[in-house]
């Protein structure tokens, strides 16, 4: 949980300082006053990244040289005093008086889960949006998964750089020897990542469908299955179905890293000429997806607004469960999520939030219309 927050020169704020209580904290005020920036600051100090900005410098208030954030956090009996200073070209992060290499060092100790209207992109958006969500909760599970993801992304970047140079010049630094070393490393890391993702997906799919059932009142059902760019090349999986009934994923759950490694290596070997022509890595965990379907059709095209919002909330509640099991109860950051929901879904979401017994920080323009009572209310005036 978070007990206090201080921010200076963050987006529209010249300065903001508040204390928070363990229960439900409501941040109210008109649209454009900076409510979401409060949630964003908590998320950055908790998770080590912004849910809105790719670069931290984007958060710096207009015409100011730097921003400052400080927060006091507690989880599982431990406390953390965290601070961030971000300038146009340089950022610094500190935790309990010690310098960190980057804000990413905050991750994995006092988690938070954001729920916001744009979460509908978890259903409607590109596969990379769902991969990012899956990888975030994968990191909730284990620090080893954090290391695997970082190493995979680094090797993938190096391999793609080699392929781009080869495409442009007909040769690349290090020659084929370096290319094969990078390929072997990618295969090893990719197999490790696939094994972790498939295991997580198998565990979390029924959780997502269960939450969706609660939010929809049991009116309709969804299915959730992991889809990979190489699974069809596995000899050990016979006649994998393209249908969205989870049968293909179920066939993969028992596979080990050696089988993923063999399949991935074979796939990259088959595609080597194509990759050198196109200048990019054409197969791997970075090209996978998580399919959510309703009545056998992909929700990204067949789901209504209400159905997609319910599915997105189900995914977020599943993330809350994974964080709670492995890191302690997360902070729930709710960015005006009730405005787009009908009455029955509002009540169902409110019931689940109370059930989780997590600290909640919710931003809303109309505190009086919330389906639960605030333990702390802070109003922000528009500047």
248 and 283 together in one domain: yes
Confidence at residue 382, expressed as pLDDT on a 0 to 100 scale: 79
Q: Which of 160-169, 251-260, 313-322, 343-352 has the lowest mean pLDDT?
A: 251-260
Structural domain range at position 209:
124-301
210 and 246 together in one domain: yes
Residues 334, 363: Cα–Cα separation, whole Å: 6
In a domain, 290, yes or no: yes
76 and 136 together in one domain: no
99 and 132 together in one domain: no
pLDDT greater than 50 at residue 189: yes
* pLDDT tens per residue, range 104-139: 999 999 999 999 999 999 999 999 999 999 999 999
* pLDDT tens per residue, range 266-325: 999 999 999 999 999 999 999 999 999 998 888 988 889 999 999 999 999 999 999 999
User: Who has greater pLDDT, 256 or 18?
Assistant: 18
Among 301, 335, 368, the domain-final residue is: 301
Average pLDDT over residues 25-46: 95
Confidence at residue 236, expressed as pLDDT on a 0 to 100 scale: 36
Buried b (16+ CB within 10 A) or exposed e, 346-364: bebbeebbeebebbbbbbb
184 and 106 together in one domain: no
Yes or no: say if 94 and 83 are a contact pair by the CB < 8 Å rule: yes
Long-range CB contacts for residues 266-269, cutoff 8 Å, separation at least 24: 266/233, 267/229, 267/230, 267/233, 268/183, 268/186, 268/187
pLDDT class of 234 with cuts at 50, 70, 90: very low
In a domain, 270, yes or no: yes
DSSP string computed for 7-45: EEEETTEEEEEEE--SSEEEEE--TTSSHHHHHHHHHHH
* pLDDT tens per residue, range 72-106: 999 989 999 999 999 988 999 999 999 999 999 99
In a domain, 85, yes or no: yes
Confidence at residue 36, expressed as pLDDT on a 0 to 100 scale: 95
Average pLDDT over residues 340-365: 93
Quickly count: other Cβ atoms within 10 Å of residue 144's Cβ. Answer: 11
Confidence at residue 232, expressed as pLDDT on a 0 to 100 scale: 57
In a domain, 307, yes or no: no
Neighbouring residues of 369: CB distance < 8 A, sequence distance ≥ 6: 338
> In percent, how much of the chain has pLDDT > 70?
94
Neighbouring residues of 232: CB distance < 8 A, sequence distance ≥ 6: 240
75 and 184 together in one domain: no
Among 267, 301, 335, the domain-final residue is: 301
Yes or no: say if 248 and 237 are a contact pair by the CB < 8 Å rule: yes
DSSP string computed for 55-113: SGGGGBPTT-SEEEEEEEEEETTEEEEEEEEEESS-EEEEETTEEESSGGGGTTTS-EE
Prediction pTM value = 0.91
pLDDT greater than 90 at residue 146: yes
Yes or no: say if 305 and 313 are a contact pair by the CB < 8 Å rule: no
Q: How many domains does the chain have?
A: 2
Look at residues 248, 310, 296 and name the one whose alpha carbon lies nearest to residue 123. 310
> In percent, how much of the chain has pLDDT > 90?
81
32 and 179 together in one domain: no
24 and 56 together in one domain: yes
13 and 93 together in one domain: yes
89 and 142 together in one domain: no
In a domain, 116, yes or no: no
168 and 207 together in one domain: yes
155 and 105 together in one domain: no
In a domain, 306, yes or no: no
Confidence at residue 233, expressed as pLDDT on a 0 to 100 scale: 45
Confidence at residue 219, expressed as pLDDT on a 0 to 100 scale: 83
DSSP string computed for 299-315: HHHH--HHHHHHHHHHH
In a domain, 220, yes or no: yes
What is the domain-level CATH number for residue 268?
1.20.1050.90
In a domain, 218, yes or no: yes
Confidence at residue 237, expressed as pLDDT on a 0 to 100 scale: 38
SS3 241: coil
| Alpha-carbon Rg for the chain in angstroms | 22
What is the domain-level CATH number for residue 104?
3.40.50.300
pLDDT greater than 70 at residue 242: no
pLDDT class of 247 with cuts at 50, 70, 90: very low
* CB-facing half-sphere around the CA of 122: CA atoms within 13 A: 24
* pLDDT tens per residue, range 47-76: 999 999 999 999 999 999 999 999 999 998
Confidence at residue 251, expressed as pLDDT on a 0 to 100 scale: 55
pLDDT class of 238 with cuts at 50, 70, 90: very low
């Amino acid at each position: 949980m978070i007990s206090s927050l201080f921010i200076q020169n963050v987006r529209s704020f010249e300065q903001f300082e508040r204390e928070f209580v363990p229960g439900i904290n409501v941040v109210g005020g008109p649209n454009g006053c900076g409510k979401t920036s409060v949630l964003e600051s908590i998320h950055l100090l908790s998770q080590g990244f912004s849910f809105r900005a790719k670069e931290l410098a984007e958060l710096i208030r207009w015409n100011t040289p730097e921003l400052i954030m400080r927060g006091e956090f507690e989880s599982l009996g431990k406390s953390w005093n965290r601070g961030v200073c971000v300038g146009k070209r340089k950022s610094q992060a500190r935790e309990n008086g010690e310098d960190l290499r980057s804000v990413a060092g905050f991750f994995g100790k006092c988690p938070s889960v954001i729920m916001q209207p744009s979460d509908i992109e978890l259903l409607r958006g590109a596969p990379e949006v769902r991969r990012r969500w899956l990888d975030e909760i994968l990191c909730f599970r284990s620090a080893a998964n954090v290391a695997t993801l970082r190493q995979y992304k680094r090797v993938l970047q190096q391999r793609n750089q080699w392929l781009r140079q080869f495409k442009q010049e007909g040769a690349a630094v290090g020659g084929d020897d370096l290319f094969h070393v990078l390929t072997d490393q990618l295969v090893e890391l990719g197999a490790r990542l696939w094994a972790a993702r498939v295991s997580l997906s198998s565990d979390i799919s029924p959780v997502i469908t269960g939450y969706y059932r609660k939010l929809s009142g049991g009116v309709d059902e969804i299915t959730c299955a992991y889809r990979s760019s190489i699974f069809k090349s596995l000899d050990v999986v016979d006649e994998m179905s393209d249908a969205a009934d989870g049968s293909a994923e179920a066939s993969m759950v028992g596979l080990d890293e050696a089988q993923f490694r063999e399949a991935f290596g074979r796939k990259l070997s088959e595609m080597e000429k194509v990759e050198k022509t196109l200048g990019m890595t054409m197969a791997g965990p970075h090209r996978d997806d998580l399919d959510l379907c309703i009545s056998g059709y992909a929700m990204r095209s067949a789901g209504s607004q209400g159905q997609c919002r319910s599915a997105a909330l189900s995914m977020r509640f599943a993330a809350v469960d994974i964080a709670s099991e492995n890191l302690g109860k997360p902070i729930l950051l709710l960015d005006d999520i009730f405005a787009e929901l009908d009455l029955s879904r509002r009540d169902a979401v409110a019931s689940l939030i109370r059930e989780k017994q997590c600290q909640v920080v919710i931003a809303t323009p109309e505190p009086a219309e919330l389906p639960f009572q605030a333990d702390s209310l802070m109003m922000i005036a528009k500047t």
